[in-house]
């Protein structure tokens, strides 16, 4: 357990498929095909898996979709040349290509294409996470019941183990910061935090990287509770007047559930 995470962290979030962006028109050489994404909220790795599933279900080729964890670009590959109808598909009004980072012209003539835009949003707290508890240090039995036999033996019946993270996002501010100071300089720091918390309180999954310099080490989490909303559906930023820090805010203790697929 550590009260202060020793590294700056970051989160990937805000990848939502709905009725406006679920179609991917493509061509394997015999005319237009359409891959349909299932509606829902996805993580970066999750949307890569979903695009791969949809293309393989609709086409005859075998497709592989991977996410670059640094750039958040998706790469779509197949064993034979194919076309992504980014600009000319018959479902442009409900196209999902912008969602997965592909904009501009059709992609044609080769077996591999990489998106030209990052997928989803990224949030980087301006200060190292405080009151931090790792999921290694917060675990409990799921739906546990305790039975005591006639001989006095105690048995715990459970259905898996629940794991949680805890931390406080603090020193959120738009105030200009000195170079190499303890708080990262972000002129939209407050707006960034609000956008992140507004998404988190939908209780949709997102990816948490304790060390932003190591994006390959990440955890899929969802918001379990905030100080004022025990069901995790609301938040309230508190200005740090008690620390003589007007213009600086914090979330208070946030509890996050680890999702282990």
Closest CA to 100 of 172, 60, 49, 32: 49
pLDDT reading at 149 higher than 70: no
CB atoms within 10 A of CB 244: 7
d(CA 206, CA 218): 10
Protein fold of 15-120: Immunoglobulin-like (2.60.40)
User: What value does the CA radius of gyration of the chain take, rounded to a whole number of Å?
Assistant: 22
Residues 6+ apart with CB under 8 A from 92: none
CA-based angle 247:248:249, to the nearest 5?
A: 120
d(CA 31, CA 16): 28
Average pLDDT over residues 64-92: 98
pLDDT reading at 34 higher than 90: yes
pTM score above 0.85: yes
The pLDDT assigned to 1 comes to 44
Q: Are 198 and 233 in contact (CB under 8 A)?
A: no
Each domain of the chain, given as residue ranges in start order, spans 15-120, 122-258
Read off the DSSP letter of residue 242: G
**Low-confidence winner among 21-30, 44-53, 145-154, 228-237 (lowest mean pLDDT):** 145-154
Domain 122-258 = CATH 2.60.40: no
Alpha helices in the chain (DSSP H): 44-58, 189-200
Closest CA to 136 of 219, 75, 198, 64: 219
User: In this prediction, what percent of the chain has a pLDDT beyond 70?
Assistant: 93
Paired with 258 in beta bridges are 221
3-class secondary structure, 44: helix
d(CA 211, CA 129): 11
Tokens of 29: 């050489």
């Amino acid at each position: 357990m550590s009260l202060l995470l020793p590294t700056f962290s970051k989160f990937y979030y805000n990848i939502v498929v709905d009725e406006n962006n679920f179609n991917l028109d493509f061509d394997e050489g015999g005319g237009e095909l359409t891959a349909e994404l299932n509606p829902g909220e996805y993580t970066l790795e999750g949307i890569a898996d979903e695009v791969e599933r949809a293309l393989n279900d609709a086409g005859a080729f075998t497709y592989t979709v991977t996410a670059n964890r640094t750039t958040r670009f998706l790469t779509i590959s197949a064993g034979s040349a194919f076309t992504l109808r980014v600009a000319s598909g018959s479902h442009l009004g409900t196209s999902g290509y912008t969602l997965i980072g592909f904009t501009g012209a059709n992609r044609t003539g080769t077996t591999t294409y990489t998106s030209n835009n990052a997928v989803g949003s990224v949030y980087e707290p301006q200060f190292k996470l405080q009151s931090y508890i790792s999921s290694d240090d917060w675990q409990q039995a799921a739906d546990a019941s305790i039975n005591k036999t006639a001989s006095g033996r105690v048995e715990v019946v459970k259905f898996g183990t629940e794991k949680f993270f805890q931390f406080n996002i603090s020193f959120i501010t738009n105030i200009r910061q000195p170079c190499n100071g303890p708080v990262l300089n972000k002129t939209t720091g407050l707006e960034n935090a609000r956008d992140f918390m507004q998404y988190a309180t939908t209780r949709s999954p997102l990816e948490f990287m304790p060390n932003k310099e190591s994006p390959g080490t990440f955890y899929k989490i969802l918001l379990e509770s905030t100080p004022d909303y025990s069901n995790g559906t609301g938040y309230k930023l508190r200005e740090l007047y008690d620390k003589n820090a007007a213009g600086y805010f914090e979330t208070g203790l946030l509890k996050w559930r680890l999702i282990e697929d």
